[in-house]
Amino acid sequence: MRRLLPVTDMTAHETASGDREWSLDELADAYAYPELPAGKNAWLRANMVSSLDGAGQHEGRSQPLSSDADMRIFGTLRGLADVVVVGAETVRLEGYRPARAREAFAARRAAAGQGPAPAIAVVSASLGLDFSLPLFTEPLVPTLLLTGAAAPVE
C-alpha cells in the first residue's frame, strides 16, 4: 500500500516506491477522525469501489472488485465508524450481516465513547427486505432502517 498524501519520510519498512504493509494501528491512525471544532459533533466518511464500467458488483458481490489493501482500509473504516450505511440492494444480493466487534479496535472505540461495533443503517424506499436475516435478528447493535414517506406503514 502506498500513501500519496500527505507526503512523509519513508520508514524502514518502506521500499523506494513507498509500498509496504501497514499495520491496523497505522491505518487507524491515518483514518482517525480529525479534531472537531467547538460545537461540531459529526463527520461523514465515504468509501466505495467500482469497476471501469461503473458497476458496483461482480456476479452479485462487491468484494471481488477490491484488492487486499482495499479490504484492509474498508475494515479499518468500519472498525472506526459509528454507523455503516448500506443500500437495500446490497443487503439483498450479499446477505449482508451485522457488524461485529473487532478486538483490534476495541480500545479506540471505548476511548471514543463508542459501542463495541458500528450500527448498520439500511437505506430502502420499499422496505422489501428479508427481516429474518441475521442483520435484523442477530445484530450486536440494533440495525437502523432509513426510508421515506412512501414506504409501507406495516
In the chain, where the domains are located: 24-34+46-146
Q: Which three cell numbers stand for residue 20?
A: 509496504
Residues 86-109 have pLDDT tens digits of 999 889 988 889 999 999 999 999
Rounded to whole angstroms, what are the CA distances from 98 to 9, 38, 93?
A: 39, 33, 15
Q: What is the pLDDT of residue 116?
A: 94
Report pTM: 0.76
Facing residues of 83 across strands? 119
The three grid cell numbers given for residue 79, joined into one nine-digit string: 472498525
Band of pLDDT at residue 73, cut at 50, 70 and 90: confident
Beta bridge partners of residue 146, listed in sequence order: 123
Residues 119-139, mean pLDDT to the nearest whole number: 95
Measure the CA–CA gap between 52 and 45, rounded to whole angstroms. 22
pLDDT of 17 over the 60 cut: no
Asked if residue 113 lies in contact with residue 95, where contact means CB atoms within 8 angstroms, the answer is: no
| Distance separating alpha carbons of residues 154 and 152, to the nearest angstrom | 6
CATH superfamily label, 24-34+46-146: Dihydrofolate Reductase, subunit A (3.40.430.10)
Can you spell out the DSSP letters for 19-61? --PPPHHHHHHHTPPPPPPTT------------TTS-S-BTTB
Interatomic CA distance for residues 62 and 65, integer angstroms: 6
pLDDT band at 63 (very low <50, low <70, confident <90, very high): low
